[in-house]
Structure 1
Amino acid sequence: MKKHMVDITALPEIFKSQLNEELLFSVKSDLDIDGKIAVQWLAITHDEVVLWQEQQSVPLKRMAVHTMKEARAVSNIGSGMLIVETTEGPVVAARYTSSLTSPMSFAAKLISALAQGEELPTLTKSDVPRYCSTCNSPLEEGTQFCEVCMSKKYAALRMLSYLKPYKFKGLMALCLLVLTTLVELIPPYLTKIIVDDVLQPQQTGTIFIIVIAAWVATLVVMSSMQALRGYIGVAISSKLMGDIRKDVYQSLMKLSLAFFDRRQTSQFISRVNNDAESMRQFMTDGVIYIGGHLLRFVFILVIIFSMDWKLTLLALAPIPFLVFLSVTIWPKVGRRLYQQWRAIYRLNMQVGDTLQGIRVIKAFGQEKMELTRYHAANKEVVYHDMRSEKMWQFFFPAFGLITSLGTVLIWYLGGQQVLSSELQLGVLLAFVAYLGMLFGPIQWLSQMISWTSRAMTASHRIFEIMDTPADVSDHPQAVKLSQIKGDVVLKDVTYGYEKHHPVLKNINLDVKAGEMIGLVGHSGAGKSTFINLLCRFYDVDEGEITIDGVSIRNIEQTELRRQIGVVLQETFLFDGTIAENIAYSKPDASPEDIMRAAKIANAHDFIVRLPDGYDTRVGERGHKLSGGEKQRVAIARAVIHDPKILILDEATASVDTETERQIQEALANLVKGRTTFAIAHRLSTLRNADRLVVLDRGKMVELGTHEELLEKTDGVYRKLVDAQMEMSKIKGVGS
């Protein structure tokens, strides 16, 4: 059982020297046993499990393997625990954040294998914890970027690339922005003219009226240009938002099932909507806002330098302090916003889990427990919200104080010059007005930093989805199969959802076109996994699956699935009409085709009894229909697909005995001429299969007809049949 493994996190020599055996596995944890931020090291050898605190030479825990029964990694909200079952009860061996879930899960499997004397699991790439090379922050599972020290330049340039299709309108908006900014600078200068040149005893009222008229015209022109720029901005932003959502959704559709298995669906709703909206706001409102203020800053500097260069230099004195404050706080802004987003993300996952499992929660009366979990997640959100807002509450007043003191200084010094006739009053008034326009945007710099940081963080989450390669992708030379016969061969097929824990092991099977294969075995034996591999929802780890002699890896996925009809164990109906759900795989199906499929699936009779018949809306996930009705609609959906390979995964699991008999009669006609793979919870329904494949713990242990397998008195299939017959007798007595 001795097996050497890689020290994936470079266990410090001071700890390694204390081990009595060769190191099998080590991992650096980021929480202590109490759940507080700390660095701890977990090491596993053949004889013991040892835990150290960083900068402490004496181990915190030292547990002998012979006292252990098994270990498990338990996930909580944003964190987890490695729990070891010992002869004296459960012990928390380590705690960690969710970024270390994968390596800690491997540690649990390794400890269990050592404790039970089993073959040790193999360390794979996915088990190695990944850290950012820049800031050493742990990276979340499946994450391409570090959201703490992400490249803002990369994010900004890639976001702005979405503006390329609208460059003409964008150029118009830019020109209007420049013109509007210039026009906005006219009123303060008109103030100077009125005070110093017009409101003088020797001047006539005509000049005053002309200046006022010019002021009114300036306001009208400025408002008109702002309205036109806003109209163009709306036209760009709406289409821009649509483009981003389309690309995100298209990227999600390209990803494989394995990607979604590792994540909750609620997070993608946020990414498609909230993150896309943050990007849109930055690229339209944010870019215009920041660009406009930068232009205004440059133009105002030119004007006030021309008015009085000495006062201008004094006015710019606070700017180095503002820049220093901004540079100091910017890294903290990014980190705190990311932490705030992670807290909100975990809260949303909690809500999503609760709402999806509300029936289970109600059934077991666990409302209080769910409230407790929600309060914990909500408390974390409140904590991070307060941290972020406290930072702004310091930052904004500090900016305001510095700029206000600068304005007071200009009033004092400028006023002194006016009193000594060194400066005209109109010049001072215009100077202060321009200064207000100059410092106004600077006071809102904190808001711009927040705006930009949120957009950058959102963009990286969006681009992460877009850049994630599909686990199951089409081969560059993938072929299209216009029509297949249905010969299916599995050769030495091995697969595990976790690479070191195979669910199917070395499966070999040769199925002829038109043959019906029944898949039987205990729960967890690998029956549904067998089906998933055939549909190429996942790619095999070892071996090969071929259809008509062509590896399914070399067949375009859309073409492959066009030839396969599936009725899955978990029936899912879309929130539409019954007719739309039946015709989902063939949207152009005629009403006659839909009715024919429904009749074959024994669904027509109950459908026509509904008030709206085939136009009846089934509700979200089909909740308006019973389990048996949903299953028959799903069967009709597979029928209208008219596949050459038919897959029935517990296709009659949700119907009563009488309905099951009727469906079996319909399916008997449907499977003719089709290669069929069927899983059924009642083994008697598979007795007409040409052959039965018996799976046990991922291995194909028996193969033959119903009668052939029954003859094996000690066979797995015979025991399964006997167990079901015994259960039927018990139910019969009980009824």
Structure 2
Amino acid sequence: MIDMTALPQQCREQVKEELLFSMKADLNLQGRIAEHWLAITYEELIVWDEKHTPIKRLPIETIQEARAVSNVGSGMLIAETKEGPVVAARYTSSLSSGMGFAAKLISALVQGEELPVLSKSDMPRYCSNCHSPLEEGTQFCEVCMSKKYAMLRMLGYLKPYKLKAVLAACLLILSTLVELIPPYLTKIIIDDVLQPQQGGAIFLLVIAAWAATLVVMSAMQALRGYIGVAISSKLMGDIRKDVYESLMRLSLAFFDRRQTSQFISRVNNDAESMRQFMTDGVIYIAGHLLRFIFILVIIFSMDWKLTLLTLLPIPLLVFLSFTIWPKVGRRLYQQWRAIFRLNMQVGDTLQGIRVIKAFGKEKLELERYQTANEEVVRHDMRSEKMWQFFFPAFGLITSLGTVVVWYLGGHQVLNSELQLGVLLAFVAYLGMLFGPIQWLSQMISWTSRAMTSAHRIFEIMDTPADVADHPQAVKPDQIKGGVVLRNVTYGYEKHHPVLKNINLDVKAGEMIGLVGHSGAGKSTFINLLCRFYDADEGEILIDGVPIRHIEQTELRRQIGVVLQETFLFDGTIAENIAYSKPDATPEEIMRAAKIANAHDFIVRLPDGYDTRVGERGHKLSGGEKQRVAIARAVIHDPRILILDEATASVDTETERQIQEALANLVKGRTTFAIAHRLSTLRNADRLVVLERGKMVELGTHEQLLAKADGVYRKLVDAQMEMSKIRGVGS
């Protein structure tokens, strides 16, 4: 029995059969935070609510299939029954792996297969420090992420610029000291200079000292600002570079679980927030802290009794500031999540704008956007209302302190117990003292925003790659192209394998055609061969070396790919063709284009090979983009060639010409080809027929066609029948 979460005794007593699996879900069926439990036996699936009352009992015999569906931040365990799908449990994404195993177990029971064994990857992952569940695919714990750790790690970016930072710190100290001189000069002017018995020479000397102070202070501030700009620009570049490098290091599975538009905000906005805090915020906070200390020393020396009375409100201000800090952090995080969802909505809408226009769903998308926008407005108002309360409260407390000083100090001046100049200087210093304290809440907000941004940045940096190079990975000079698959099983969701127990031995230089219905696993086969993902079970070998033991960069350097979804960068045609070989000569580029049958249409364009293709190549037709992509693979000169529906977007005549060109290209290369027209694969050395993730047939075109009841024969017959129908229709 696998008990991933201790099943409460009241629930356990209600289980009559042998318990195979139990687990706690952290959301109720409405998606709200609550504790539910589920248990699986040989006979049924049982779900209890937080009161230990069974709310669902599904006999296994009524279930056709079970699956764990991942959403943004959450998921559902769904049981497909004869009456329709039933949501058995909801949970946050931190429990996705465990719920995926539950779905795999239920499906195995339904199909009468061998029950799966719980692996380490199926176990929910928890923070080693606070034991809170971790989001799938990350090491980042939002609960116990140390603010001190994040702060020190942020400041670590200043190390390469420590000399400039030290100089800026010295200038900050000096400018803070100089800034405190004018109020003291005011005291001297009123109490010592503006007296009938004093001469004008002293007055001019003090005024000159005041003017010199202002000049020196401005000069130091300008120099400090110049140094700050030099540091901040480089800091911003360093942070962006590290985030971008981390994104490039991560595997496709990481991006499959997330919408890519969110990373634009992390690379730019979050990095900018960190930069502002380190270059402006740290200086601002440190400057005010130094000013606070220096002013305390000065006013204590002027009148210690009045100073103590003045400082009475400060403990209250500090208490209020640190009381609201946790609330600020929570509300800022909620505000960020709301903005994140709004940005996702915008990203989805813009990417799918053609579909929206085609179905006339602008109003529906506007309503969805308005819902997300209202949530952002609500969180904005919550945050701003909090500030609108605390700012006046802070201002009132500090103003009352100034009133007390004027009242008590005024009495002392009238009674000749205190000089007027001392009182005016004291009030001036008091304004400089209360200024930083009044803005303490703003500093807390600034720091909280920076910490939130730092957490999101460090989440990316600390997330391990799903597909990583082996410590002893080899770097072969040139591979021959022999490929072996041994018992390979893989699923994008661990509980739902797309490929199952694939065994195949491909000789170097052999051409393999991959055939099967949509969803049979053909593209997944290609993804594993390129090592975009790692097989869950079994292994792939190239020239006898496990693919995990070959450096990914070197592996992909010797694999040429033309994917089903053609992507071109926003550059010229020549730049796109030469993407895999930036130093290619114009002659090499044109040769590759001719092999791909792209040269003729390129030279007819106004700018020829210098024609810009636009974002995602939208200025070219589907067939033209496909031929440019083929030319890109040709110039790569790979040892293994992968053609994933390489001729899907061209007409019959162009397809024939490309096939002739590819016939010369594939010589001496191991080739894996997927084609929607089965006739184009008749020249393949062997055909692999996939059905529901399993390899059901293997042989030449003639061998498979000879099987009257074979899967391949049925696919060919179906295509021929469809061609006849189209011919009649036209």
TM range (shorter): over 0.9
Q: Does 1:519 align with 2:514?
A: yes
Amino acid aligned to 2:431: G
> What residue is the counterpart of 1:41 in the other structure?
37
Counterparts of 1:399 and 1:26 in 2: how far apart (Å)?
53
Instruction: Kindly indicate whether the alpha-carbon contact (under 8 Å) linking 1:148 and 1:338 is maintained by their aligned counterparts in 2.
Output: no
Counterparts of 2:367 and 2:96 in 1: how far apart (Å)?
23
Structure 1 residue 239: Cα displacement: 0.6
Structure 1 residue 101: Cα displacement: 4.9
Amino acid aligned to 1:675: T
Counterparts of 2:336 and 2:579 in 1: how far apart (Å)?
37
> What residue is the counterpart of 1:353 in the other structure?
348
> What residue is the counterpart of 1:219 in the other structure?
214
The equivalences for 1:58-137 within 5 A come to 58-70=53-65, 79=74, 81-86=76-81, 91-104=86-99, 107=102, 110-111=105-106, 123-130=118-125
**Residue correspondences, number:** 730
Q: Check 1:47–1:391 CA distance in 2 against 1; reply closer, same or farther (3 A cut).
A: farther
> What residue is the counterpart of 1:208 in the other structure?
203
Q: Check 1:350–1:632 CA distance in 2 against 1; reply closer, same or farther (3 A cut).
A: same
Q: Which moved more, 1:496-505 or 1:705-714?
A: 496-505
Instruction: Kindly indicate whether the alpha-carbon contact (under 8 Å) linking 1:78 and 1:346 is maintained by their aligned counterparts in 2.
Output: no
> What residue is the counterpart of 1:695 in the other structure?
690
> What residue is the counterpart of 2:11 in the other structure?
15
Q: Check 1:509–1:79 CA distance in 2 against 1; reply closer, same or farther (3 A cut).
A: closer
> What residue is the counterpart of 1:667 in the other structure?
662
Counterparts of 1:492 and 1:29 in 2: how far apart (Å)?
34
Structure 1 residue 464: Cα displacement: 1.6
> What residue is the counterpart of 1:158 in the other structure?
153
Instruction: Kindly indicate whether the alpha-carbon contact (under 8 Å) linking 2:687 and 2:699 is maintained by their aligned counterparts in 1.
Output: yes
Q: Does 1:485 align with 2:480?
A: yes
Q: Does 1:616 align with 2:627?
A: no
Counterparts of 2:473 and 2:592 in 1: how far apart (Å)?
32
Q: Check 1:214–1:149 CA distance in 2 against 1; reply closer, same or farther (3 A cut).
A: same
Structure 1 residue 512: Cα displacement: 1.7
Structure 1 residue 715: Cα displacement: 1.4
Q: Does 1:591 align with 2:586?
A: yes
Partner SS, residue 153 of structure 1:
helix
Counterparts of 2:419 and 2:666 in 1: how far apart (Å)?
98
Structure 1 residue 38: Cα displacement: 3.5
Q: Does 1:280 align with 2:275?
A: yes
Amino acid aligned to 1:444: W
Counterparts of 1:442 and 1:370 in 2: how far apart (Å)?
46
Amino acid aligned to 2:511: M
> What residue is the counterpart of 2:574 in the other structure?
579
Structure 1 residue 85: Cα displacement: 5.0
Amino acid aligned to 1:236: I
What is the aligned counterpart of 2:182 among 183, 187, 190?
A: 187
Q: Which moved more, 1:599-608 or 1:128-137?
A: 128-137
Instruction: Kindly indicate whether the alpha-carbon contact (under 8 Å) linking 1:124 and 1:499 is maintained by their aligned counterparts in 2.
Output: no
Q: Which moved more, 1:545-554 or 1:178-187?
A: 545-554
Instruction: Kindly indicate whether the alpha-carbon contact (under 8 Å) linking 1:255 and 1:469 is maintained by their aligned counterparts in 2.
Output: yes
Structure 1 residue 416: Cα displacement: 2.1
- TM-score (normalised: structure 1): 0.94
Q: Does 1:645 align with 2:640?
A: yes
> What residue is the counterpart of 1:171 in the other structure?
166
Amino acid aligned to 1:18: Q
Q: Which moved more, 1:620-629 or 1:66-75?
A: 66-75
Q: Check 1:262–1:75 CA distance in 2 against 1; reply closer, same or farther (3 A cut).
A: closer
Instruction: Kindly indicate whether the alpha-carbon contact (under 8 Å) linking 2:514 and 2:690 is maintained by their aligned counterparts in 1.
Output: yes
Structure 1 residue 444: Cα displacement: 0.7
Partner SS, residue 485 of structure 2:
strand
| Structure 1 vs Structure 2 CA RMSD | 2.3
The equivalences for 1:553-572 within 5 A come to 553-572=548-567
Instruction: Kindly indicate whether the alpha-carbon contact (under 8 Å) linking 1:276 and 1:458 is maintained by their aligned counterparts in 2.
Output: yes
Instruction: Kindly indicate whether the alpha-carbon contact (under 8 Å) linking 2:67 and 2:495 is maintained by their aligned counterparts in 1.
Output: no
Partner SS, residue 519 of structure 1:
strand
What is the aligned counterpart of 1:311 among 306, 309, 312?
A: 306
Q: Does 1:384 align with 2:379?
A: yes
Structure 1 residue 483: Cα displacement: 2.0
Instruction: Kindly indicate whether the alpha-carbon contact (under 8 Å) linking 2:522 and 2:674 is maintained by their aligned counterparts in 1.
Output: yes
Deviations 1:246-278 (A, max 9, x none): 111111111111111111111111111011001
Instruction: Kindly indicate whether the alpha-carbon contact (under 8 Å) linking 1:71 and 1:108 is maintained by their aligned counterparts in 2.
Output: yes
> What residue is the counterpart of 1:238 in the other structure?
233
Structure 1 residue 116: Cα displacement: 6.2
Counterparts of 2:85 and 2:675 in 1: how far apart (Å)?
38
Q: Does 1:713 align with 2:711?
A: no
Amino acid aligned to 1:578: I
Q: Check 1:111–1:509 CA distance in 2 against 1; reply closer, same or farther (3 A cut).
A: closer
Instruction: Kindly indicate whether the alpha-carbon contact (under 8 Å) linking 1:579 and 1:614 is maintained by their aligned counterparts in 2.
Output: yes
Structure 1 residue 333: Cα displacement: 1.7
Partner SS, residue 565 of structure 1:
strand
Structure 1 residue 34: Cα displacement: 3.9
Counterparts of 1:422 and 1:636 in 2: how far apart (Å)?
93
Instruction: Kindly indicate whether the alpha-carbon contact (under 8 Å) linking 1:124 and 1:500 is maintained by their aligned counterparts in 2.
Output: no
Partner SS, residue 489 of structure 1:
strand
> What residue is the counterpart of 1:330 in the other structure?
325
Structure 1 residue 102: Cα displacement: 5.0
Instruction: Kindly indicate whether the alpha-carbon contact (under 8 Å) linking 2:561 and 2:633 is maintained by their aligned counterparts in 1.
Output: yes
> What residue is the counterpart of 1:253 in the other structure?
248
Counterparts of 2:642 and 2:329 in 1: how far apart (Å)?
49
Counterparts of 1:327 and 1:22 in 2: how far apart (Å)?
53
Q: Check 1:49–1:488 CA distance in 2 against 1; reply closer, same or farther (3 A cut).
A: closer
> What residue is the counterpart of 1:362 in the other structure?
357
What is the aligned counterpart of 2:540 among 540, 545, 556?
A: 545
Counterparts of 1:628 and 1:680 in 2: how far apart (Å)?
15
Counterparts of 2:327 and 2:320 in 1: how far apart (Å)?
12
Structure 1 residue 678: Cα displacement: 0.7
Structure 1 residue 94: Cα displacement: 4.0
Deviations 1:349-387 (A, max 9, x none): 222122112222222333333233322322222222222
- TM-score (normalised: structure 2): 0.95
Amino acid aligned to 1:452: T
Q: Does 1:342 align with 2:337?
A: yes
Q: Which moved more, 1:613-622 or 1:71-80?
A: 71-80
Counterparts of 2:695 and 2:65 in 1: how far apart (Å)?
27
Counterparts of 2:131 and 2:551 in 1: how far apart (Å)?
40
Instruction: Kindly indicate whether the alpha-carbon contact (under 8 Å) linking 1:148 and 1:334 is maintained by their aligned counterparts in 2.
Output: no
Instruction: Kindly indicate whether the alpha-carbon contact (under 8 Å) linking 1:77 and 1:377 is maintained by their aligned counterparts in 2.
Output: no
Partner SS, residue 3 of structure 2:
coil
Q: Check 1:580–1:313 CA distance in 2 against 1; reply closer, same or farther (3 A cut).
A: same
Counterparts of 1:698 and 1:223 in 2: how far apart (Å)?
73
Structure 1 residue 146: Cα displacement: 2.2
Partner SS, residue 544 of structure 1:
strand
Counterparts of 2:585 and 2:247 in 1: how far apart (Å)?
31
> What residue is the counterpart of 1:471 in the other structure?
466
Counterparts of 1:730 and 1:444 in 2: how far apart (Å)?
77
Structure 1 residue 37: Cα displacement: 4.0
Q: Does 1:298 align with 2:308?
A: no
Deviations 1:281-300 (A, max 9, x none): 11100110011111111111
Partner SS, residue 451 of structure 1:
helix
> What percentage of aligned pairs have identical amino acids?
86
> What residue is the counterpart of 1:657 in the other structure?
652
Structure 1 residue 24: Cα displacement: 4.0
Instruction: Kindly indicate whether the alpha-carbon contact (under 8 Å) linking 1:8 and 1:27 is maintained by their aligned counterparts in 2.
Output: yes
Q: Which moved more, 1:696-705 or 1:22-31?
A: 22-31
Partner SS, residue 266 of structure 2:
helix
Q: Which moved more, 1:97-106 or 1:693-702?
A: 97-106
Deviations 1:642-687 (A, max 9, x none): 1111111110011111110010011011111111111111110010
Instruction: Kindly indicate whether the alpha-carbon contact (under 8 Å) linking 1:694 and 1:701 is maintained by their aligned counterparts in 2.
Output: yes
Structure 1 residue 544: Cα displacement: 2.4
Structure 1 residue 176: Cα displacement: 0.6
Deviations 1:426-463 (A, max 9, x none): 11111111111111011111111111111111112111
Q: Which moved more, 1:588-597 or 1:478-487?
A: 478-487
> What residue is the counterpart of 1:198 in the other structure?
193
Q: Which moved more, 1:542-551 or 1:700-709?
A: 542-551
Amino acid aligned to 1:372: E
> What residue is the counterpart of 1:495 in the other structure?
490
Instruction: Kindly indicate whether the alpha-carbon contact (under 8 Å) linking 1:82 and 1:104 is maintained by their aligned counterparts in 2.
Output: yes
Counterparts of 1:285 and 1:156 in 2: how far apart (Å)?
14
